[in-house]
Structure 1
């Protein structure tokens, strides 16, 4: 039924266009008011059937995904901050985080000493182990396994940082190495 109504509507539209351009053929159509009424009824039925057909058509929705998350690139020192967090915690036995931090700082200090004093990195590492690389007793003690810290210096360090002497000694050593690397010398 839909096709026949569509065909009838198409014929009516074509006849209407033809008659509007060639007006002398308008008199050939018998009973023009009846013809217009039939076309109006056909158009009305077609409109109602189209509306009813659209009501039964399923609606398809799309779901948008989550917005793209920004990639967080690692910043220089992120691993050091995490390592420092582990090293600051007190634990019994071997503390690998502290050893890793110490080794990284020894490598940086050796490069700074070699650059500042014009020696090889092996000689600089020997100076670090002997504690001869700086006048700061805390920095010499922090990087060397052979150098001890005098009780008076240990008491000052404890008074300066009662909760984490490790962090205080680390910070002090970093400052000394930084001065050495920037050309401040011993």
Structure 2
């Protein structure tokens, strides 16, 4: 149905309504209970069919939703150390540089812990680390010192403990030794 036809039907309904208002006797002569309900139902059905027919010829348009907002990921302590450790596994120049950076970071932490636990000066703590006197763990002492030699037995244990990364195993032992110092106990 087009707009013109529905306008005509609407005008006829309004005129019939006005006629019933003006001539009440005409309305009383007709028994409109059943007829009125039937007329309203027919008009509602016609309107429903009109809306369905209009909708069948409408082109569908889909909207695209954007990507959901991504959660901000805050850095956690140690993320950069994990990345550096991943780079340190290689034998390239970059891997050697990463290993040196990790050694320096652990040496700084060990120095701070020795100063805090023993009350000595920073230079004295650095000297203890260089001499390997800061821990009883020979691998941790060797890892942070250039003058401490690692015996055959310890090298073999280190190699057997972690055959793929001797550096990673020594780093782990050194970090554990530093952690043990924070509790006041030697490893």
Q: TM-score, normalised by structure 1?
A: 0.72
Aligned length: 174
Q: How does 1:64-143 map to 2 (within 5 A)?
A: 64-91=65-92, 95-143=96-144
CA distance in structure 2 between the aligned counterparts of 1:91 and 1:15, rounded to whole angstroms: 95
Say if 2:88 and 2:95, in contact at 8 Å, map to a contact too. no
Matched, 1:168 2:169: yes
SS at match of 2:64: coil
Give structure 1 stretches of 5+ with no counterpart: 28-38
Does 1:58 find its partner at 2:92? no
State which drifts further: 9-18 or 169-178. 9-18
Q: Does structure 1 retain, via aligned residues, the 8 Å contact 2:129–2:145?
A: yes
Cα deviation code 1:77-126 (max 9, x no counterpart)? 22222222221234479701101110110111111101001123333222
- State the TM-score, normalizing by the size of structure 2: 0.72
Q: What is the CA deviation profile of residues 7-63 of structure 1, one whole-angstrom value per residue up to 9, with x for unaligned ones?
A: 422322222333168632559xxxxxxxxxxx9xxx7xx867766554433322212
- Contact 2:132-2:141 within 8 A present in 1 as well: yes
Q: Assess if the C-alpha contact under 8 Å between 2:136 and 2:186 holds in 1.
A: no
Alpha carbons 2:115, 2:125 under 8 Å: kept: yes
Sort the Cα spacing of 1:3 and 1:183 in 2 relative to 1 into closer, same or farther, 3 A.
Answer: same
Mark the CA change 1:17 to 1:145 in structure 2 (over 3 Å): closer, same or farther.
farther
RMSD: 3.6
Classify the secondary structure of the residue corresponding to 1:132.
coil
Give the structure 2 partner of residue 12 of structure 1: 12
Query: In the alignment, is the contact (CA less than 8 A) between 1:116 and 1:185 conserved in 2?
Result: no
Q: Aligned equivalents of 1:3 and 1:156: distance in 2? A: 93
